[in-house]
């Protein structure tokens, strides 16, 4: 009897600890609702193109676009695709044939691509589809305190959105890692349409990025 009681208490403690750990992940808990709030306020940002190409499209300017597969099992190594006009990068020195893993290009666009496995089936909304990446790899989801943003990382870039768009002048931000592009001989400080910035990681180490921020208006 004593052993049975001890096992019951141990099980209850384990459940409590697991529940507590889940509740502490406030970034995972709150970030999808934050993105949904932005999409509800600015529905023009999202186009359901899943019948045509299998992706939801998220764009504020009709050019630089995050494409999110509605079913990762159907899109191979391109579950998330950050698409942006190629010409500004060519003008800054890019030879598209030199692009390595995580990138590709056609005659019009530069693409950053990310593979997050087979996913868990087709999703009905962009937010649910985007967070399939987090199910595959929790570390891609982060909170950027300096800008009060949530973000999901790709191997060579990132998308961030405001935790509260009513109190932020950068509601949506596309981010490219600058160093891999600089290594290809691109003048990363002079790419039309992108803002070059040096930032710091959590360890205080500098790193360079290219930003394309959007302030949305209702």
Higher pLDDT, residue 32 or 13 = 32
- The pLDDT assigned to 166 comes to 92
- The pLDDT assigned to 202 comes to 65
**Own/partner pairs for 128-133, CB < 8 Å, 24+ apart?**
128/32, 129/56, 129/68, 129/69, 129/70, 130/35, 130/68, 130/80, 131/32, 132/69, 132/72, 132/79, 133/79, 133/80
The model's pLDDT over 102-151, given as tens digits with 9 standing for 90+, comes to 999 999 999 999 999 999 999 999 999 999 999 999 999 999 888 899 99
Q: What percent of the chain has pLDDT over 90?
A: 82
Q: Delimit the domains of the chain by residue range.
A: 26-214
| 10, pLDDT greater than 80 | no
The per-residue pLDDT of the chain, averaged, comes to: 89
Give this prediction's pTM: 0.86
Higher pLDDT, residue 64 or 147 = 64
| 22, pLDDT greater than 60 | no
Q: Which pLDDT band, with edges at 50, 70 and 90, does 218 fall under?
A: low
- The pLDDT assigned to 200 comes to 78
């Amino acid at each position: 009897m004593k052993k049975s009681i001890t096992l019951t208490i141990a099980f209850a403690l384990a459940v409590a600890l697991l529940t507590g750990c889940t509740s502490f992940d406030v970034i995972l808990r709150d970030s999808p609702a934050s993105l949904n709030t932005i999409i509800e306020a600015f529905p023009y940002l999202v186009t359901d193109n899943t019948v045509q190409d299998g992706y939801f499209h998220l764009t504020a300017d009709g050019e630089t676009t995050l494409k999110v597969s509605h079913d990762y099992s159907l899109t191979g190594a391109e579950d998330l695709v950050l698409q942006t006009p190629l010409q500004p990068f060519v003008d800054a020195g890019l030879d598209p044939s030199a692009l390595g893993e995580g990138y590709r290009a056609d005659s019009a666009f530069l693409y950053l691509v990310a593979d997050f496995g087979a996913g868990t089936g087709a999703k009905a909304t962009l937010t649910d589809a985007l967070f399939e990446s987090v199910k595959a790899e929790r570390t891609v989801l982060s909170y950027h305190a300096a800008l009060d943003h949530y973000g999901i990382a790709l191997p060579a870039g990132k998308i961030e959105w405001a935790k509260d768009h009513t109190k932020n002048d950068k509601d949506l931000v596309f981010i490219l890692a600058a160093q891999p592009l600089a290594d290809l001989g691109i003048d990363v400080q002079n790419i039309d349409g992108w803002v070059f910035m040096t930032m710091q990681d959590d360890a205080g180490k500098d790193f360079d990025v290219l930003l394309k921020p959007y302030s949305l208006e209702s």
